[in-house]
Amino acid sequence: MQSRKDLANAIRALSMDGVQKANSGHPGAPMGMADIAEVLWNDFLNHNPSNPDWFNRDRFVLSNGHGSMLIYSLLHLSGYDLSLDDLKQFRQLHSRTAGHPEYGYAPGIETTTGPLGQGIANAVGFAAAEKILAANFNKPDFDVVDHYTYCFLGDGCMMEGISHEVCSLAGTLKLGKLVAFYDDNGISIDGEVEGWFTDDTPARFRAYGWQVIENVDGHDPEAVAAAIKLAQRDSEKPTLICCKTVIGFGSPNKAGSHDCHGAPLGADEIKASKEALGWKYGDFEVPADIYSGWNALDAGAEKETAWNALFEAYAAQYPAEAAELKRRAAGDLPANWEQVSTEMLAKFNAEANKVASRKASQNVLDVIGAELPELLGGSADLAPSNLTFHKSSKSITGEDAAGNYLHYGVREFGMSAIMNGLALHGGFIPYGATFLVFMEYARNALRMAALMKKRLVHVYTHDSIGLGEDGPTHQPVEQVANMRNTPNLDTWRPCDEFETGVAWKSGVEKTDGPTALVLSRQGLAPMARSAEQQAAAAKGGYVLVDSDSAPEIILIATGSEVELAVNAAATLKEQGKAVRVVSMPCTSVFDAQDAAYKESVLPAAVTKRVAVEALHVDFWWKYVGLGGKVVGMTTYGESAPAGDLFKHFNITAEAVVEAATSL
């Protein structure tokens, strides 16, 4: 059996070698955190390398994701399906060992990290997921959901604002099974952090209601182990273990300096480092006794087997709960989903209510929320405006997690990244809300959900100048185009209650990425649809009103502007024009249809096209072409009642008619 130092040095050696071979990467953090990782993974982490998807595993998040060779080394050494060859392919095309840990590329990567601060936010989501599921499913003597969430984070994560949002909320929610390790090495890219980061971080986290264990020597395994035990003893407070470490530990000439942060050490320095560490092996060479010291396969299998036995006993006593937990963990929808959602749509179509689409969304939630306990709602302190609290909503508090609604507070970015963690954990379809323009505060978390192809639903209300008096800071212009250009994200801007239902249905059913719902503050007139049109709405774009003969003009609209387009078409028809109106609630879903369908909606021969949307015009040239026109926004909004604004910015049925006749 090798010493703990030897085991940790395997991480250091592999990290140095991996970065050197790629001639690119970050050796400093893995070398600095190797001892902490060794203690955590070998003595505490409950996981099963043979089954990275074991539902009750502890979650491990590397928030300082640039230190990716740390997690690749850990996965390889402990027995995951990640070979030495994989490590040698670090940062190469088609390899599983990407520059930053990418969810879905290698087994055991719980979340994609790299954008700083978001890993700890995901970890808060994992811990919240565990606590909420436990509160909803565990029974006396049956703690079937019972795991820790561990997170490594560095100075960069600590400086990012999102760390404030999510750690503050973690304290309020009393996420006692969240344990974070702060890699306090005093170095960031510009150099020694004391020039720009002088927080008393322990005091800051105590102010959030965390347990803080200070001044732990991150290179002393006994101290680290003692701290973790202390962390586990407090079941109410999340714990921050502040570890003093040396970046690039072991490198005689670069340790403690930012020189080892983001570049290979170089062959000579690697040689010197291995000598200094007493590591006598070749490049990418790990001796058998080191492997055996790390191997977690047997222990992991035992742990999962024990849990399986527990779960079987639980299932015997609580069959309904067990089946439900299995369903939710698998991400399957309930058996009655298709019926419930179809009936809801038929009802909306028949009732033809005039409501704001934000209100329509709440009406949807009143229906589906009762059927989908996995819908975990929330809003960044705008529940009464976003209308996200539905008839079956129950608030979650620090004292009582047996609910399905999180009051995220005024924390848009934190909310969105926590939602990513909830979705990654499994057992939930998270939805969260804010005003559309404040999507921007959370923008990169939305992108991360799309990059990771996770199912969740963002509810963005107050979607244009139609919000009125709050003015330009609150009126979106360029935001929806940005979302539509985001790969894997479906952005819906429904025109009435029926389309809002279609959008929600799509978001719940889409398993390969997030969905954003762009909803109005103001009331929207219901549109009439045939059965065929009702079905076509799910295709993202469809003919809502057609001309009697072949169309000579096509009007394309979304959301609150569909009514304008329909009214403009009526006027144009009176003038003898053959006009078609296409409702296009989701461009990405429309784009994904087959060519024949798209041609049937937007025939290439019809070049007289006008798009109307109270958002930035530039997105729509894609559909109307150089010869078309777009009625929309090119500037910021103003503060005034909504009706005045639509006239002021000339987004009216008359403007659409004028644009169409000018072609």
From residue 298 to residue 337, the character string flagging contacts with a copy of itself as x (rule: CB under 8 A) and all else as - is: ----------------------------------------
Question: Which residues between 178 and 237 bind a copy of itself (CB under 8 A)?
Answer: 188-190, 193, 195-201, 203-204, 206-209
385 is in an annotated binding site: yes
Task: State yes or no: 358 annotated in a binding site.
Answer: yes
Q: Which two tokens stand for residue 637?
A: 């909004």
The C-alpha atoms of residue 502 and residue 303 are separated, in whole angstroms, by 43
**CB of residue 602 vs a copy of itself: minimum separation in angstroms?**
10
Of 156-164, 284-292, 456-464, 554-562, the window that binds a copy of itself (rule: CB under 8 A) is 156-164
The answer to whether the annotation marks 470 as part of a ligand binding site is yes
β-bridge partners, 61: 151
Q: Is 462 annotated as a binding residue?
A: yes
Any contact of residue 430 with a copy of itself (CB under 8 A)? no
421 is in an annotated binding site: no
Pick from 594, 541, 592, 547: which is nearest to 574 by CA? 547
Helices assigned H by DSSP within 318-380: 319-330, 337-351, 357-368
- Tell me whether residue 92 or residue 600 sits nearer to a copy of itself (CB atom): 92
Which of 27, 67, 156, 430 touches a copy of itself by CB under 8 A? 156
Which one of the listed residues 412, 497, 561, 613 is annotated catalytic? 412
552 is known as an active-site residue: no
Does the footprint of a copy of itself cover residue 523 (CB under 8 A)?
A: no
Most distant pair of Cα atoms in the chain: their distance = 90
Exactly one of 414, 427, 514, 541 binds a copy of itself (CB under 8 A); that residue is 414
Report in angstroms how near the CB of residue 407 gets to a copy of itself at its nearest: 4
Q: Cα(623)–Cα(41) distance, rounded to whole angstroms?
A: 53
Q: In what order do the strands lie in the sheet with 629-633?
A: 542-545, 579-583, 553-557, 609-616, 629-633
Judged by beta carbon, residue 568 or residue 615, the one nearer a copy of itself is 615
Near a copy of itself in 54-73, by CB under 8 A = 65-66
* Residue 425 assigned as binding residue: no
Site string for a copy of itself, 601-640 (x = CB under 8 A): ---x--x--------x-xx-xx--xxx------xxx-xxx
**Helix residue spans in 540-594 (DSSP H):** 562-574, 587-591
Tell me which of 373, 409, 426, 523 binds a copy of itself, using CB under 8 A: 409
Alpha carbon separation from 177 to 150, 229, 263, 548 (Å, rounded): 8, 12, 35, 65
Instruction: Determine whether the annotation assigns residue 493 to a binding site.
Output: no
Q: How far is CA 272 from CA 267, 338, 536, 586, in A?
A: 9, 64, 67, 58
The site for a copy of itself, by CB under 8 A, has a size of: 113
Residue type, 46: N
Instruction: Return the residues of window 468-507 that contact a copy of itself according to CB under 8 A.
Output: 468-474, 477-478, 481-482, 484-488
Q: How far is the CB of 342 from a copy of itself (least distance, A)?
A: 32
Could you say whether residue 531 binds a copy of itself (CB under 8 A)? Answer: no
CA 2 to chain centre: 40
SS3 476: coil
In this structure, which amino acid lies at residue 86?
Answer: D
Q: Does 438 bind a copy of itself (CB under 8 A)?
A: yes
Taking residues 551 to 570 in sequence order and writing x for each that binds a copy of itself by CB under 8 A, - otherwise, the string is: --------------------
Do β-strands 187-188 and 191-192 pair in parallel, antiparallel, or remain unpaired? antiparallel
Would you say 438 is a known binding-site residue?
yes
Q: How far apart are CA 505 and CA 98, in angstroms?
A: 34
Q: How far is the CB of 112 from a copy of itself (least distance, A)?
A: 6
Q: Tell me phi and psi for residue 98, to 5 degrees.
A: -70, 170
Helices (H) and strands (E) in the chain, counts: 26, 20
Please identify every residue annotated as catalytic. Answer: 412
